[in-house]
């Protein structure tokens, strides 16, 4: 079947809208790319609206998408990003610039011409707002994919307004779903589709010796790794403090911090904290790396005390690498990491429990290996791309079969 062939009444026609232009690619982008790459082409006609950038400087989103077969790419230009703009500024940025108006008009014609049934976008403010307008203009159903917990305190008004007008919200975890409902979403309009990872990319043990040699680790060293954007909510400062206490019990512990800082000067703060604790000699800051699987292969366990993590893709990646996970028992983390089986979870703010869990695994290689095997099995059974795509396809069918949200409200239905 040719993608976009409208002769088949069984084909679900979906337009993904993702107009981010700036690096780095976030988890929301990767999740959409994974779904696009994995959906069954025999039952789905897939179209993607994205900013493409210049021929010699493609946007990160376009670079990730253009190699995927069986999709129709639709270039759009919605102008500057909306991050940290006022509500009025966001509206003006979308509609007050001629190229954005022209791009929206062309996209609306495209949706009608190809008889798109479902618009699928993320909780990026500009995309969500644009898709509300697009749905109104075309009659397509709108799904907003929520990758973070709902919060009226920091979510802009335009995003809140857009989410209230979506035909469905998809949450990456039961935790995120619960925040959406608590924020006023109707429960039967909220659906959970757990994230997933590409297992073939995460192969346990590959290049372990070479990766350890890069950092000068000996056979006796016990390496704790964390991979994240370095800023306070991910808890790197908490991890450094905990590792400092573990070192008093187990001098062989080492810490590998992988990721770039989100706030200027934050790595300097972390280094200063490590020096004050006397552990700067056992901590390595790698910055952003593209070879994360190899670095995980060098480690013995993964730790990231992130508070209220919406899902934690990196936990799934570590588990796929057969690493036990040390994390906090809140947010979406318990939906990924099973305490006592694939990792150890401690209450937020309980420093002693965090130290105890790290120390227990640093001291017990056999337990680490067993947890690692269980973690890999868990990912293979529950967090695959095929399962994720099948779950999303079910949401598409359900949403497309319902009247549009505005029609349901006009008819007095929920």
Nearest CA to 141 out of 403, 409, 388 is that of 403
- What's residue 117's pLDDT? 98
pLDDT at position 391 over 50: yes
- Beta strands 57-58 and 53-54 are antiparallel
pLDDT at position 407 over 60: no
pLDDT at position 254 over 70: yes
- 254-272: average pLDDT: 93
Contact present, 339 and 360 (Cβ < 8 Å) = no
pLDDT at position 122 over 80: yes
- What's residue 207's pLDDT? 82
Residue 27 parent element (H or E): helix 27-38
pLDDT band with cut points at 50, 70 and 90 for residue 83: low
pLDDT digits (tens, 9 = 90+) for 89-118: 555 555 546 778 889 999 999 999 999 999
Q: Identify which has the larger pLDDT, 200 or 95.
A: 200
pLDDT at position 9 over 80: no
- What's residue 262's pLDDT? 83
Radius of gyration of the chain (CA): 23
- pTM over 0.85? The answer is yes
Count of CB atoms within 10 A of residue 265's CB?
Answer: 8
Average pLDDT, the chain: 91
Count how many residues are written for the chain.
414
pLDDT at position 124 over 80: yes
Query: Percent of the chain having pLDDT more than 90?
Result: 78
- 134-142: average pLDDT: 97
How far apart CA 196 and CA 53 sit, in angstroms, is 28
- What's residue 85's pLDDT? 53
pLDDT band with cut points at 50, 70 and 90 for residue 181: very high
Domains in the chain (CATH in brackets) are: 12-196+385-410 (3.40.50.2000), 199-382 (3.40.50.2000)
- What's residue 338's pLDDT? 98
DSSP secondary structure string for all residues of 148-179 = S---TTTS-HHHHHHHHTSSEEEESSHHHHHH
- What's residue 80's pLDDT? 63
- 227-245: average pLDDT: 96
């Amino acid at each position: 079947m040719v993608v976009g062939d409208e002769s088949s009444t069984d084909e679900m026609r979906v337009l993904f809208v993702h107009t981010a232009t700036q690096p780095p690619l976030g988890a929301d982008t990767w999740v959409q790319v994974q779904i696009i790459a994995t959906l069954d082409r025999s039952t789905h006609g897939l179209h993607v609206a994205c900013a493409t950038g210049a021929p010699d400087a493609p946007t990160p989103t376009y670079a990730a998408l253009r190699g995927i077969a069986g999709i129709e790419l639709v270039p759009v230009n919605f102008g500057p990003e909306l991050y940290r703009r006022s509500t009025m500024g966001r509206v003006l940025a979308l509609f007050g610039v001629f190229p954005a108006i022209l791009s929206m008009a062309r996209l609306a014609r495209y949706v009608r011409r190809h008889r798109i049934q479902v618009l699928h976008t993320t909780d990026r403010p500009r995309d969500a707002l644009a898709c509300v307008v697009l749905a109104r203009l075309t009659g397509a159903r709108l799904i907003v994919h929520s990758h973070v917990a709902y919060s009226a305190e920091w979510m802009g008004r335009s995003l809140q307004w857009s989410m209230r007008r979506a035909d469905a919200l998809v949450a990456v975890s039961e935790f995120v779903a619960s925040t959406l409902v608590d924020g006023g979403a109707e429960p039967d309009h909220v659906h959970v589709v757990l994230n997933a990872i590409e297992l073939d990319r995460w192969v346990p043990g590959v290049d372990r010796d070479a990766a350890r040699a890069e950092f000068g680790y000996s056979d006796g060293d016990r390496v704790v790794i964390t991979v994240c954007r370095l800023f306070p909510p991910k808890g790197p400062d908490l991890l450094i403090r905990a590792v400092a206490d573990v070192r008093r019990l187990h001098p062989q512990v080492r810490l590998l911090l992988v990721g770039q800082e989100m706030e200027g000067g934050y790595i300097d703060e972390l280094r200063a904290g490590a020096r004050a604790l006397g552990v700067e000699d056992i901590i390595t800051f790698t910055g952003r790396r593209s070879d994360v699987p190899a670095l995980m292969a060098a480690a013995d366990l993964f730790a990231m005390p992130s508070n209220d993590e919406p899902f934690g893709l990196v936990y799934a990646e570590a588990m796929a690498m057969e690493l036990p996970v040390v994390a906090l028992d809140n947010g979406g983390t318990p939906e990924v990491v099973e305490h006592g089986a694939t990792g150890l979870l401690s209450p937020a703010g309980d420093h002693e429990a965090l130290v105890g869990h790290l120390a227990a695994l640093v001291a017990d290689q056999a337990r680490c290996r067993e947890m690692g095997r269980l973690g890999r099995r868990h990912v293979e059974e529950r967090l695959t791309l095929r399962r994720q795509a099948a779950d999303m396809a079910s949401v598409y069918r359900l949403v497309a079969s319902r009247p549009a949200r505005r029609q349901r409200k006009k008819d007095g239905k929920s």
